[in-house]
């Protein structure tokens, strides 16, 4: 028993020293935006759904698992009490502590780009990525998008195996999916489940929500990992769970790969994401069965005011696409490039009125939704 204890202790020390060396080589610098072409792997069109009675998904795991990495972060935490003279008098000068956390990520190109969740790397001073069993490399942040909770990192390493991209648009309730990540820091783990729902929103996790819901087990450390189909293609980025205990209870959420591609494409090209902005406050139409977004206020000097929108107008469509509620209005407006003109169909005193608007650039969020870290 004593021999087993010392063996386990030696293994733990070896892993700890390796991570410390990786963190030592890191710096807080963020990589500047780049315009190099990034090539990703595309899955061929699906010929047929998975065969009934399939007993093993080993081929899908063998294909996707090398593209999923473990992410370790560290940041310096300084207590506000250390600024209190009375505290320093009794306890002396206190050294800042270093907090560490873990998550997962997905290799998206051979150039070293890795997609993960923003909350995995937010405020981190140091980031290390464990690739396979033998490689630990420092990583830099290319850019982040807190409003979708996505971030792109970059590492310098050879022999990277990027994930193959599938499509999330074709997912249906009941389809089998697999979640790959590093739960609780135990190492790469695969869990299996089905798609429980699509298009989940109004969860209060992110500003822009269109989640895939799954009962595949997602636990602390899974954030930023891959949700794949039975052919091993990426369909989502695991992000959060609904839980009252802190553990998986069969309700997990993943960002669809279609949305993730839009975000990381802009981050790699420009270092961030540009979205359209209208400059109004709105709420859902209160009448039962009514659809649209009722304008409650118009920001002075904003795009809506310049175009002639007024409080009381009900926006029912953007460029011909029906608007069901305020969430749809935010999403459709954000999809417009800043500086472009869109047609907002409104009801004013019950009469239809098309209003052309040159949308502005959405300001950065003052506060973002807090995902349950997975």
Please compute the mean of the pLDDT values over residues 127-145 and round it to a whole number: 93
Tell me if residue 223 is catalytic: yes
Show which of 223, 245, 270 is a domain's final residue: 270
- Does 200 share its domain with 335? no
Residue 324 annotated among the catalytic residues of the structure: no
Residues 261-271: pLDDT tens digits?
999 999 999 98
Domain stops at, among 270, 285, 300? 270
- In this prediction, residue 231 carries a pLDDT of 95
Closest CA to 222 of 102, 72, 57, 60: 102
Highest mean pLDDT among 15-24, 49-58, 147-156, 201-210: 147-156
**Annotation marks residue 175 as catalytic:** no
Q: Tell me the mean pLDDT in the region 205-232.
A: 92
Shared domain for 319 and 300, answered yes or no, is yes
In a domain, 36, yes or no: no
Per-chain mean pLDDT for the chain:
83
Residue 142: name the closest of 32, 265, 262, 27 by CA: 32
- Contact present, 227 and 236 (Cβ < 8 Å): yes
Q: What CATH number does residue 210 fall under? A: 2.40.10.120
Whole-number Å distance between alpha carbons of 306 and 309: 8
pTM above 0.85, yes or no: no
| Residue predicted with more confidence, 3 or 43 | 43
Q: Are residues 357 and 244 in the same domain?
A: no
Q: Which of 149, 229, 313, 345 is catalytic?
A: 149
Total structural domains in the chain?
2
Whether residues 171 and 200 fall in one domain: yes
| pLDDT range class, residue 220, cuts 50, 70, 90 | confident
pLDDT, residue 322, reads 94
- Choosing from 67, 119, 248, 345, the catalytic residue is 119
Q: Is residue 188 situated within a structural domain?
A: yes
280 and 186, same domain (yes or no):
no
With bands split at pLDDT 50, 70 and 90, how would you rate the model's confidence at 243? low
Q: Where among 223, 238, 270 does a domain terminate?
A: 270
Which residue among 67, 104, 196, 223 is the active-site one?
223
- 320: domain CATH number? 2.30.42.10
Note whether 135 and 245 are same-domain residues: yes
């Amino acid at each position: 028993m004593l021999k087993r204890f010392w063996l386990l202790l030696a293994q733990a020390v070896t892993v700890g020293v390796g991570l410390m060396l990786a963190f030592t080589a890191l710096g807080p610098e963020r990589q500047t935006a780049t315009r190099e072409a990034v090539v990703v792997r595309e899955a061929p069109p699906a010929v047929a759904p998975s065969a009934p009675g399939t007993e093993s998904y080993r081929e899908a795991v063998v294909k996707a698992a090398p593209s999923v990495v473990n992410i370790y972060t560290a940041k310096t935490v300084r207590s506000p009490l250390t600024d209190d003279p009375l505290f320093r008098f009794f306890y002396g000068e206190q050294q800042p502590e270093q907090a560490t956390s873990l998550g997962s990520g997905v290799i998206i190109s051979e150039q070293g780009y890795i997609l993960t969740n923003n909350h995995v790397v937010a405020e981190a001073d140091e980031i290390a990525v464990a690739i396979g069993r033998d490689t630990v490399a420092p990583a830099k942040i290319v850019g982040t998008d807190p409003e979708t909770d996505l971030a792109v990192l970059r590492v310098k390493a050879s022999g990277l195996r990027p994930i193959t991209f599938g499509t999330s648009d074709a997912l249906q309730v009941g389809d089998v999916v697999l979640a790959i990540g590093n739960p609780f820091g135990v190492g790469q783990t695969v869990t299996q489940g089905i798609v429980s729902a699509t298009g989940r929103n109004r969860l209060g996790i992110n500003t822009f929500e269109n989640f895939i819901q799954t009962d595949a087990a997602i636990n602390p450390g899974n954030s930023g990992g891959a949700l794949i189909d039975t052919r091993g293609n990426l369909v989502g980025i695991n992000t959060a769970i609904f839980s009252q205990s802190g553990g998986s209870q069969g309700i997990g959420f993943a960002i669809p790969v279609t949305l993730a591609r839009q975000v990381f494409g802009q981050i790699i090209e420009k270092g961030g994401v540009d979205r359209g902005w209208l400059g109004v406050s709105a709420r859902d139409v209160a009448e039962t069965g009514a659809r649209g977004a009722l304008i409650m206020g118009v920001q002075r000097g904003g795009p809506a005011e310049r175009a002639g929108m007024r409080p009381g107008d009900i926006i029912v469509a953007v460029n011909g696409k029906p608007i069901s509620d305020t969430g749809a209005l935010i999403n459709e407006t954000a999809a417009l490039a800043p500086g472009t003109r869109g047609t907002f169909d409104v009801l004013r005193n019950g009469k239809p009125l098309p209003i052309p608007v040159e949308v502005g650039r959405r300001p950065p969020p003052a506060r973002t939704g807090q995902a349950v870290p997975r």
